[in-house]
Amino acid sequence: MSTASDPVASLADAPDATRPELYRIKRFRSETHDTFTVELRPEHGGAGRPWLPGQFNMVYVFGVGEIPISISGDPTSDVLIHTTRAVGRVTNEMSRLKAGDLVGVRGPFGTPWPLEQARGHDVVIVAGGIGLAPLRGAIYSVLADRGDFGNVVLLYGTRTPEDILYRQQLERLRARFDVEIHVTVDRGSPSWHGNVGVVTTLIHKAPFTSRNAIAMICGPEVMMRFTANELQRRGVPTSSIYVSMERNMKCGVGFCGHCQLGQHFVCRDGPVFTYDRMEDLISRWEV
């Protein structure tokens, strides 16, 4: 997929992202015991609002509330896909929805992954747990324009083999000869014969050239911090490491202040930041 030289500016003519629109659930799919995916289509037809990998929507469950969820589908598709974990009131109610139900959607909001800057570079994608979902659109985009990038590496860590997201898609990608995929789990099982350990243990053997690499990381903040540290040890500059920060976002437009992180409002200035902007803040327990 080829994109404009300034993809963020190309969204300027899109409909007002703050205005909610009705979407109908086309398909509901359980991913793990606590994680699910919904596929949405605009209720009034059309392809919906354009979006970029790394951005998020505010999804409203009627009568319950609204939550931010990263977009986790293919940006060239007319189906809007969100994967999330049932951990609170809104997501628990959302997990009970079914095909045909309606939700409200505002967005897209936020900064995208640096796909244009990554052209001509090795691409290192590191995901922890459900952090694979916000990176999925970037994976689709890189593979769609595979010839524009150097080595492509995906390193993915989860708690257990049962927590692996998009298992069938990962198996298909591993069958390709132009992308390197390594999966690890914190705790194995009798049927698991893959890597056991935290995802940072995979970085030292990943095939990429440090000074020519762009890294994209999403997962728990402690995982992103240690991953960035390992990448730096391999020689990747902090300005070439990108992280997705999704702390406490609530309004999506920087008004409520819930997501303030230092001088930044994550929903407005992020969620994707270069690590040199986040390194000091992400290392603090309370900001």
pLDDT digits 0-9 by tens, 245-282: 976 788 888 888 888 888 888 989 999 999 999 988 87
Look at residue 252 in the predicted model and tell me its pLDDT: 84
**Confidence at 13, pLDDT banded by 50, 70, 90:** very low
Per-residue pLDDT at 4 = 41
The reply to whether 9-109 and 115-244 are identical in fold is no
What CATH number labels 9-109? Answer: 2.40.30.10
pLDDT digits (tens, 9 = 90+) for 191-223: 999 999 999 999 999 999 999 999 999 999 999
Q: Is 45 left (phi over 0), alpha (psi -120 to 50) or beta?
A: left
Please state the pTM of the whole predicted model.
0.91
What sign for the dihedral angle of Cα 274, 145, 195, 213? negative
Report the mean per-residue pLDDT for the chain.
91
Q: What is the mean pLDDT of residues 166-189?
A: 95
CATH number 3.60.20.10 given to 115-244: no
pLDDT of residue 284: 65
Residue boundaries of the structural domains of the chain: 9-109, 115-244
Q: What percent of the chain has pLDDT over 90?
A: 79
Bigger pLDDT: 19 vs 23: 23
8, pLDDT greater than 50: no
